[in-house]
Amino acid sequence: MREAPAQDRGGRSRDAILDTAGELMSRYGYAATSISMISAECGLPASSIYWHFGSKDGIYVAVLERARTALLAALAPPEVPGADVAQRLDAFLAEVEDAFRRHPHGLKLLLGLSMVQADASAAAVAQVHHYRDALVAWAQDALSAVFGLSDRPEVADELARFTLRMASGTAVTRWFEPGAVLETGPLRVALLALAAHHNVLVRGTSGEGALSHD
């Protein structure tokens, strides 16, 4: 059996470093994760880590890029299915809950680490903002479809940012309670209340302010 090409071995080493670094940084934070910790955990020498990424900051940027790509690729298109607001909202929240469940490390890194700005480079901070902007844009489009807000983008923006703040809060909670889950029931109630606050009257839901809009 022939030995794998050096390029393949290098790719596997790079992936192993990123897997380990993502796990450690999501568990302990950027500042507390050292090159020596990553080396000990993944079994590769520090020289290999520096060869692939140049620095801890280079690793963090690569971890963020990979987490962003994986999560955004997993998100459903923003054209949320459903015959009415209730069905579309439930479909949207199911997508958010599923993404939160399947990408716990990426969400902790990208939603719950605003404190990284004190320790990381401009490139790492820019990557965090780039990821958040992409998530906000997806949530804006999805909630615009849920509530029929194509003519009210400012309301869709508020609903999207509220949703991500809830997800971010749960991600931060996971630093202290690893088993914490995103509570989509209260989030559903809150989104309907925010929509009603902006006089977005919806059909297919129950509760105060749930009247016909579409």
Q: How confident is the model at residue 1 (pLDDT cuts 50, 70, 90)?
A: very low
141 φψ region: left (φ > 0), alpha (ψ -120 to 50), beta (else):
alpha
Close Cβ partners of 169 (under 8 Å, ≥ 6 residues apart):
none
The per-residue pLDDT for 28 is: 80
User: What percentage of the chain reaches a pLDDT higher than 90?
Assistant: 39
**pTM of the shown model:** 0.75
* Rounded distance between C-alpha atoms, residue 177 and residue 163, angstroms: 20
| Residues 160/147, Cβ–Cβ less than 8 Å | no
| Residues 153/139, Cβ–Cβ less than 8 Å | no
Residue 172's identity, in one-letter code, is V
pLDDT over threshold 50, residue 17: yes
The per-residue pLDDT for 41 is: 95
Residue range 153-173: average pLDDT?
Answer: 88
What does the pLDDT look like over 98-157, one tens digit per residue? 887 777 666 666 654 544 555 667 777 787 788 888 889 999 999 999 999 999 999 999
Long-range contacts of the stretch 6-10 (C-beta < 8 A, 24+): 10/52
The per-residue pLDDT for 122 is: 78
What's the N-to-C CA distance of the chain in angstroms? Answer: 64
